[in-house]
Structure 1
Amino acid sequence: MKNSLRATFKRGSIAGVATAGAAALLLTGCGAAPTASSTATATASDYTGCIVSDSGGFDDQSFNQSSYEGLKKAEKDLGIKVNQAESKTNNDFEPNLRAMVTAGCDLTVTVGFLLGDATKAQAEANPNSHFAIVDYGYDPAVANVKPIIYDTAQAAFLAGYAAAGTTKTGTVGTFGGIKLPTVTIFMDGFVDGVKYYNEKKSKDVKVLGWDKAKQDGSFTGDFEKQDKGKQLTQNFLDQGADIVMPVAGPVGKGAGAALKEAKAAGKDVKLIWVDSDGFLTAPEYKDLMLTSVMKQMGEAVENVVKEDKDGKFNNTPYVGTLANDGVQLAPFHDMDSKVPAELKTELDQIKKDIADGTLKVESAASPKV
């Protein structure tokens, strides 16, 4: 990680640990997908857009990084100034947010479910400042906070179907970092995608790591310790899994490490990434990458900044779906030749069916819109 991305603010000691609960995603409305901007601003702007990461950091090769890249693209396209604060622990959230307010940020983007409480506290304490938060919604709404959230189960359903259609062992696995709605929503969709494949094909592909009915499964307990992710993945491999989807930010690198070792030992194993296109953001594992469950965070962040800069801020949640391309299944890239043409056709049809409502994908953690 380059030093230029590190926070330049002294971190305080006030705790900003957010509470977890599915109620945070119970929203009553959603905004249309923001309109992309392709026109660069030639002159410097007085507008300052800022961002605060969770403890995964801006180089997590996942949702922090994607959100940060969206703000940096806004800097280039719109001519704005940017500022950032990288959180090392949950205790950094509120001090970093206060630092952004003190620095005169027009809009501060906070990244991750765990920043929900800290963002609300600072927004209510600074009603003239605008905020946006990725992966968290408020009920009731907070006047000066715009949620950027995703019905990730829809794209994860496609990933589960793809995994079931390409596994050689008949067993796949998924695990999470912390048991949060924004994590379990991936796991719900993945399990349902495998189940749908089994129903359509009269197969019995098994999923290790998550029981949707019980809402219980395998978690490392954090988003930092890659050795835990490696051990969980090894446990899955020992039980016969050949495809693993970690939903754990940087801990996903641990899964990648275990799969690389397995591949070096001659096993045909694959990795499914989340949040960003792992083939591009985690290239050290691209030879393992079947696909990724993407949330288009960069585009959403840039366009929320643009709307705010243009005086069009509102607190109506933006909800990314397959229908508005807010969530997507990434290309198969180098794995394309290993995915049967029939399976690709089926995935295209399933995507259409989900987008138009013909096929319902449900998760307890999905935004209620």
Structure 2
Amino acid sequence: MKTFASVLMVALLAGLAGAHNAFADNRDPPPPPTDWVSEELREHPLVGKVWSAHDKSFVDLRDFGKALALARFVLLGEVHDNPDHHLWQAWAIRTVSKLRGSRIVEGAPQLDIVAMEMVRTDQNEALDKFYGRNVAVPRPRKARDFARMLKWQESGWPDFKIYEPIIDQALYAQLVIVPASVSRDFTRRLSKEGEAALVSGEADRLALAQPLDGKLAEALSTEIKDSHCGLIPGKAIPAMSFVQRFRDATMADSLLSVATGKGGILIAGNGHIRRDRGVPWYLEKRGVAAQAVVALKLAEVSDGKNDPEDYIERSPEGSPSADFVVFTPQTKRDDPCEKMREQMQKKFDKDKS
């Protein structure tokens, strides 16, 4: 016959076991988003894997999640129209919030903001309304309110539905979404006037006055030319390079808007999160230690390209442009160069008429 003491001991041991399991589970990141939305190359051998560019090896999700959570600034790249990339970004926000909130990672800074390339400084008034900053009792908001109040459908970015998981996770984690881009009008002015468009001292403050190394500057020019399918005239590239540098510097500045010791996440295209000449370069020039930043590239796999190292761009000195790479299927899309040719032809015909 079971005594009260033996029953109590069994219950106590069961409770301890449950607590241990809960603690163990709490150390693990959430399940990864591997119910792929993108249709192309789902069976590719790299799909769903995480690659450490420094260790040159695959890493498990626990180590990957911990590396993200330990950094002060987490830079999450993307191919803009790939929905799986936004699901992984949302996963990263949830993972970092969970591990930091549970105090599982010692010394990790408090996460305060999510800076987004897709949000501009001229939308700050809409953000104030979204967060109810000027009202006595703010209304609870949802992701669809964000899209409506910031007029996402007019922004030129892909359908909000694929960005919605990011906003959902930011709101759930009580993180503040902040702009990481300036207005389109100011961007156009920059392309015409260059550094002269900036107020006095701004280039120095943003670290724009410090030139890129010659090889890095040349690589940036080549990337701009290639990304525009070789259709832009050579004389336009210096101005476009300056605009790209300004955008990277502005994104770094948006992260540095947090209080001392606090942290943030950046959502931006893969080109912006490059360690060699992107946002991390400007953070480092402004005093942020390299180890306080982690850069994640979200890469679409290519047919016949099975070596993870082939997806990592490197600086002229051989340093990887990202710390980690997550591999996803490809999104089915039209030829971007053909689309660009059509747009440029329409512009040419309009200017001619």
**Do they superpose with TM above 0.5?**
no
TM-score normalised by structure 1 residue count: 0.25
Larger RCO, structures 1/2 (Cα 8 Å, 6+ apart): 2
The structure in which a higher percent of residues are helix is: 2
The structure number with the bigger radius of gyration is 2
TM-score normalised by structure 2 residue count: 0.26
The structure in which a higher percent of residues are strand is: 1
